[in-house]
A and B are shown apart, each in its own frame.
Chain A
Amino acid sequence: DVVMTQTPVSLSVAIGQPASISCKSSQSLVGTSGKTYLNWLLQRPGQSPKRLIYLVSKLDSGIPDRFSGSGSETDFTLKISRVEADDLGVYYCLQGTHFPYTFGAGTKLELK
């Protein structure tokens, strides 16, 4: 199984400051199609998860461009250029390339 190692476990950030979350996979996430199915999700308290980014770096509709995704093969990063109050919650990386699909353990973003 692909292990997704997500760091840090928690992140305390002041409004307006940047944030960065890392996700490393135990094997390459490049699929047979050549696509890399690495997603970033945000789960706000009491809500369902919401996808922010897919295929490593593609921003979902309605997601502000303060969010960006980068990386390749086994090393991926989610960056928030300027944290806003609405960004609080738990962030998960999710690989959808290899079965079983696997999630990172989550990063809780809190306000400093």
Chain B
Amino acid sequence: EVQLVESGGGLVQPGRSLKLSCLASGFTFSNYGMNWIRQAPGKGLEWVASISSSSSYIYYADTVKGRFTISRDNAKNTLYLQMTSLRSEDTALYYCASFNYGSYWGQGVMVTVSS
């Protein structure tokens, strides 16, 4: 069974950092480009960042560029999102996902940025 399980979310103060993880199982993780997608409460979906299968190519949304870092460890089947200088507008449910080839989505992890 294919699974993507996100973890590491929570309540954090503005300006602080948080690191999300996404553990993959049930498919060959190292073959797929991966993404972080977020959804603010009651809003639509927003692409955050992408990383190619071998980490050769990395892209970010302008809203997070310079503050977030996407990475992966194929030996551990894990995708990461290091988030720094967090803002209230980063409050959202964060999904890890692959969708251009195979389609795999996690259940999401909530990040709340508030003082």
Q: Which residues of A contact B (CB under 8 A)?
A: 37, 39, 41, 43, 48-51, 54, 60, 90, 92, 94, 96, 99-106
Q: What separation, in Å, do the CA atoms of A50 and B59 have in the docked complex?
A: 23
Do the beta carbons of B103 and A101 come within 8 Å of each other? no
With contact pairs A48-B106, A99-B59, A100-B62 given, residues A39 and B100 touching in the complex (Cβ less than 8 Å): yes
A-B contact list, 18 entries, CB within 8 Å? A37-B100, A39-B100, A41-B99, A48-B95, A49-B37, A50-B103, A51-B103, A90-B44, A92-B45, A96-B99, A100-B60, A100-B61, A100-B62, A101-B35, A102-B47, A103-B46, A103-B47, A104-B44
1/0 per residue, CB under 8 A from A, across B30-48: the answer is: 0000010100000011110
Closest to A60 in B: B103
Min CB–CB distance B79 → chain A (angstroms): 15
Classify the interface of chain B: helix, strand, loop or mixed. strand
Min CB–CB distance B101 → chain A (angstroms): 8
Q: Which residues of B contact A (CB under 8 A)?
A: 35, 37, 44-47, 50, 59-62, 95, 97, 99-100, 103, 105-108
Closest to B37 in A: A49
Do the beta carbons of A94 and B99 come within 8 Å of each other? yes
Closest 6 CB pairs of A and B: A51-B103, A101-B47, A96-B100, A99-B59, A48-B105, A103-B45
